[in-house]
Amino acid sequence: MFRIALDMMGGDLGVEATVSGLSLYRNTHDCSDVVFDLFGDKATLSKFVQKTNCEIHDTGTNVISATEKPAKAIKAGRGTSMFEAISWVAQGNADAVVSSGNTGAYMALSKMLIGTIDGIDRPAIVSIIPNIVNSTVMLDLGANTDCSPTKLLQFAIMGKAVSRVLQQIDNPRIGLLNIGTERTKGTDALEEAYELLANAQGLNFIGFVEGTDIAKGTADVIVTDGFTGNVSLKTMEGTIRYIAHTLKAGFSSSLMSKIGYLFCRSAIKTMKDAIDPRHHNGAPLVGLKKISIKSHGNSDAVGFANAISVVVKLAKSGFVSNIEKMISEIEKGNADENEDN
């Protein structure tokens, strides 16, 4: 039996989105081996949630607001749905946790309550981004704004583990994001990180990649610092919205176009589905001793259901022990190499 803790109160759309999302997930997936621990206002939740395989933990209407500083959330977060859901998992009562709440607070509380695994300084936020061939695992996407070469190496290892579970690629190609593919481009930190990744045991490092490579599918895993990753991901979101807007304007520009739209609705839908961020919702915070998934703040039912599917997949895969094993193997490999020298 797997147990998943859900923060039912987090996110801009509140309990309506999480309740409908959970219901959508349960209607479309086999849930016979999963129990959900729901943290939130019992009065509301008990009205709408089916009782089977669900346990409600009453935290009333105590929530961490979207604008709360992480430091304040650490000090005064006890009793909120987010704090208690994470705490429940940290104490070993469940395997994984999901929240659509305040990212900074969620990150800080996950790190404090659950803790990072040996060899990892700080967790990274990972996203699975669709590309022309298949998908790209990209990290970090906002947790670490300033990244040392060692951290970038840790991201590469974590990215490999995520790729194995979510992309089913045994030995994923790992690229390091830069402003050119030549060895001489970029900052000193990237130059150093290049050396570290190229010499690490067990990593299929393919060198520097550029912004265009994310959508091209040049690499299965793309490693970058959280600042660049966050800007890049949000640029992508904005570009998608811009194109959708332009396309819509084009279709309503003439009667011919309007008729054409009726014929090719399914083609447009295929594209819209492929780029719909809700279908890619659920970003693992990787490097923690338990599984912690960040769902987008404005997730609706479809998005939240997708985040649940990601967390269940990771929980069933033995995700954390997988990463721990890989890190110790790489460290052992590097240690052996040092002995040889």
Interface residues with a second copy (CB under 8 A)?
67, 69, 130-132, 142, 145-146, 177, 179, 182, 184, 186-187, 210-216, 224, 226-228, 230-243, 245-247, 249-251, 253-254, 256-257, 259-271, 274-275
Q: Shortest approach of a second copy to residue 86 CB, angstroms?
A: 22
Q: Shortest approach of a second copy to residue 190 CB, angstroms?
A: 9
Q: Cα-flanking dihedrals φ and ψ of residue 165, to 5°? A: -80, -50
Could you give the CA distance from residue 6 to residue 296 in angstroms, rounded to a whole number?
A: 14
The residue (of 239 and 328) whose beta carbon lies closer to a second copy is 239
Q: What is the DSSP string of 130-165?
A: E-SSSEEEEE-SSS-SS--HHHHHHHHHHHHHHIII
CB 6 within 8 A of CB 36: yes
Could you give the CA distance from residue 179 to residue 164 in angstroms, rounded to a whole number?
A: 27
Could you give the CA distance from residue 133 to residue 144 in angstroms, rounded to a whole number?
A: 29
Q: Shortest approach of a second copy to residue 7 CB, angstroms?
A: 21
Q: Shortest approach of a second copy to residue 235 CB, angstroms?
A: 4
Q: Shortest approach of a second copy to residue 182 CB, angstroms?
A: 7
Burial label, 215 (beta-carbon count in 10 A; 0-12, 13-18, 19+): middle
> What does the block give as tokens for 83?
């704090």
Sign of CA pseudo-dihedral 228, 232, 238, 239 = positive
Q: Shortest approach of a second copy to residue 105 CB, angstroms?
A: 13
CB 138 within 8 A of CB 224: yes
Q: Shortest approach of a second copy to residue 180 CB, angstroms?
A: 8
Prior bond of 41 cis (ω within 30°): no
Q: Shortest approach of a second copy to residue 91 CB, angstroms?
A: 31
The residue (of 46 and 145) whose beta carbon lies closer to a second copy is 145
The residue (of 70 and 284) whose beta carbon lies closer to a second copy is 70
Residue with tokens 């959708």: 244
Q: In sequence order, what E strands does the chain have?
A: 2-7, 34-40, 54-58, 96-99, 124-130, 135-139, 173-177, 204-209, 221-223, 283-286, 291-294
The residue (of 87 and 103) whose beta carbon lies closer to a second copy is 103
Residue with tokens 């929980």: 315
The residue (of 61 and 246) whose beta carbon lies closer to a second copy is 246
Please, what is the end-to-end C-alpha distance for the chain in angstroms?
48
The residue (of 95 and 140) whose beta carbon lies closer to a second copy is 140
The residue (of 69 and 325) whose beta carbon lies closer to a second copy is 69
The residue (of 52 and 239) whose beta carbon lies closer to a second copy is 239
Residues 6+ apart with CB under 8 A from 19: 8, 45, 48, 49
The residue (of 43 and 264) whose beta carbon lies closer to a second copy is 264
Angle of CA points 320, 326, 332, to nearest 5°: 135
Q: Shortest approach of a second copy to residue 296 CB, angstroms?
A: 12
